[in-house]
Amino acid sequence: MLNAGLTVLGLSRFQFAMTTVFHFFFVPFSIGLAFVVAVMETMYVFNKDEAYKKMAQFWGKMFLYSFAVGVVTGIIQEFQFGMNWSEYSRFMGDIFGAPLAIEALAAFFMESTFIGLWMFTWERFKPGIHALFIWLVALGSSLSAVWILAANSFMQNPVGFAINKSTGRVVMTSFSAVVTNPQLWLELPHVLMGAGITASFVVAGCSAWRLLKKDHESFYRKSLNVALVIGLIASLGSIASGDFQTRYLINQQPMKFAAMEGLYKDSTNKGEWAIYSSFNTKQHKTTSSLDVPYVLNILSYHKLSGTVKGQNTVNKELHATYDKKFGKDMNYYVPTKTLFWSFRIMAVSGGLFALIAIVGLFFNRKKSQAIMKQRWFLYIMGLMLWLPFIVNTAGWFVTEFGRYPWVVYGLLTIADAVSPTSTVGSLLFTNIVYFLLFAGLGLVMIVLSHRVLKAGPDAVDMNGYSAEDTNGKVEDPYGTEAFNHD
């Protein structure tokens, strides 16, 4: 009962998934790239090496595109809680609105103001001060992650609340509990590390394509180094934080965990971990699987023994706990195939990112020309720039599908959250328009980034963000020489 198809619920869910996934292509890319660019500019401040300044400007240009699309798709996120999920908004407003408002107040203002300053003041402030601007942008975007994930964490693991007896709505009783939600502090590092991976592997991938063409060797090799160092740290951090998060789920959201591991029955003490499984989701059965012993226990408990509850067991437990409130007909099984494969995409990619970063750094060491000779490796790295986007999406699939049937875990079902005023017709219309719009925006993004890449680092002259004036000559619109007050 996934409410697929042309129902208000199905279309509302599709819309939320589509807008969020599209938005989240740009969010981690922007957060990570702000950080990567900040590192590059800081290296310029300390080394006085113009190459790093050029690097910050060159990759900064891609950051600006991504940021622009991130901003405009972000407004959809904020509005659609009220537009499509008004019952959710009424139920959750007391808790959910606060982090959202704080996010805007404490993070978005900082991000957007300092991005404006950063874009237009390359020649006006001392390099150290100018670098501070991009650090503040990076800080602002990370802060926004803190607050939006605080909101999401409450949906995963509600804390610091009570139910108002007369209205049946959630009320906040402890803000400190909401912001110290363990879910948040496990989710946040994983998201930030994922952002680091996204940006660094896109930079690395783009550099690899240019190196294959033997273009600006020194520039792209330096870029590659910065990217892969950050990429290595981020991928190791991502694996570690992912491990913490997964093990946290065993007790917190056992259904999600069981589905990630493709377990319907409880696991045996041997801890077989499935590399591959096929499922009969209707009959709640694993039809075949390729297992490796002990790995499940190592992943789950960091030891060889132990058992993990399967979905069938968890289903019974959930019925025992929630039948009074939600009725006997509730389906607690989550989309097993989606979770199982999404989790595997994440786990395998995490390792792959770390591996590629290590090998890349080795090939790219200063005195060696190895990286230029290992063309196969450059091809792999070039292709891998798309992978982080898939992996980020997979991560949210696990997190969000795995919470089914609830929108707020244990408190509110997805079906009860939708706007009663929505109609199939209007949702169909908006879904189609959004889809076309996103396809168009995505295409322009790719075309523009590709164009920047093709034009090369020498073409970027970042006095203003509109670098190419119609006359071909670029003039800093806010440079002192441009002004003479009459």
Partner 1 sequence: MTSLQILWFLLIGVLFSGFFFLEGFDFGIGMAVRFFGKNSAERDVIIQTIGPHWDGNEVWLITAGGAMFASFPMWYASLFSGYYLVLFLILVALIFRGVSFEFRANMKTATWRNFWEWAATLGSFCAAFLFGMMFTSMIEGVPMDAKGNIFGSFTTYVNWFSLVGGVAVSLMCFIHGLNFLQLKTLGTLRDRAQARNKLLYPVLIVGEVLFVVLLYISTDFFAQKPATTWSILIVLVLLTLIAWWGVLKAHNWTAFIASGLSLISVVVLIFNGLFPRVMIATNSAHSILIKDASSSPYTLHLMTIIAFSVLPIVLVYFIWSYWVFYKRLKSPKAA
- C-beta closer to partner 1: residue 56 or 102: 102
Tokens of 293: 């012993």
Contacting partner 1 within 148-167 (CB under 8 A): 164
What one-character-per-residue DSSP string does 406-447 give?
Answer: EEETTTEEHHHHS-TT--HHHHHHHHHHHHHHHHHHHHHHHH
Distance of closest approach, residue 38 Cβ to partner 1, in angstroms: 18
The verdict on 460 binding partner 1 (CB under 8 A) reads no
Report whether the peptide linkage leading into residue 99 is cis, meaning its omega lies within 30 degrees of zero.
no
Distance of closest approach, residue 102 Cβ to partner 1, in angstroms: 6
Stretch that binds partner 1, among 169-177, 209-217, 236-244, 404-412 (CB under 8 A): 169-177
| Binding letters toward partner 1, positions 318-357, x by CB under 8 A | ----------------------------------------
Distance of closest approach, residue 50 Cβ to partner 1, in angstroms: 24
Stretch that binds partner 1, among 98-106, 262-270, 299-307, 319-327 (CB under 8 A): 98-106
- C-beta closer to partner 1: residue 133 or 353: 133
Distance of closest approach, residue 353 Cβ to partner 1, in angstroms: 29
Query: What is the rounded distance in angstroms from the CA atom of residue 405 to the CA atom of residue 392?
Result: 22
Among 234, 408, 441, 462, binds partner 1 (CB under 8 A): 441
H-helix segments, 213-260: 217-252, 254-260
Distance of closest approach, residue 299 Cβ to partner 1, in angstroms: 38
Total binding residues toward partner 1, as defined by CB under 8 A: 80
Contacting partner 1 within 60-89 (CB under 8 A): 64-65, 68-69, 71-76, 78-79, 81-84, 86-87, 89
Contacting partner 1 within 386-425 (CB under 8 A): 419-422
Helices 424-455/8-47 angle, 10° precision: 20
User: Which candidate, 194, 206, 193, 195, places its Cα nearest to that of 62?
Assistant: 206
Q: Which residue has the tokens 């509600």?
A: 158
Among 37, 119, 258, 260, binds partner 1 (CB under 8 A): 119
List Cα–Cα distances, 190 to 32, 185, 296, in angstroms: 12, 9, 21
Residues 6+ apart with CB under 8 A from 222: 51, 52, 55
- C-beta closer to partner 1: residue 208 or 452: 452
- C-beta closer to partner 1: residue 176 or 251: 176
The verdict on 477 binding partner 1 (CB under 8 A) reads yes
- C-beta closer to partner 1: residue 58 or 397: 58
Query: What is the rounded distance in angstroms from the CA atom of residue 462 to the CA atom of residue 444?
Result: 21
User: Residue 196: helix, strand or coil by DSSP?
Assistant: helix
- C-beta closer to partner 1: residue 180 or 321: 180
Residues 6+ apart with CB under 8 A from 215: 456
Tokens of 413: 């079902």
User: Which candidate, 415, 364, 388, places its Cα nearest to that of 229?
Assistant: 364
Q: How many CA atoms lie within 13 A of 316 on its CB side?
A: 8
Query: What is the rounded distance in angstroms from the CA atom of residue 441 to the CA atom of residue 462?
Result: 23
- C-beta closer to partner 1: residue 185 or 478: 478
Contacting partner 1 within 173-232 (CB under 8 A): 173, 175
Beta-bridge partner residues of 413: 406
- C-beta closer to partner 1: residue 30 or 349: 30
The verdict on 294 binding partner 1 (CB under 8 A) reads no
Among 106, 352, 372, 415, binds partner 1 (CB under 8 A): 106
Distance of closest approach, residue 15 Cβ to partner 1, in angstroms: 10
The answer to whether 51 and 218 have CB atoms below 8 angstroms apart is: yes
Stretch that binds partner 1, among 26-34, 96-104, 350-358, 374-382 (CB under 8 A): 96-104
Stretch that binds partner 1, among 47-55, 101-109, 340-348, 356-364 (CB under 8 A): 101-109
Beta-bridge partner residues of 172: 161
CB atoms within 10 A of CB 74: 19
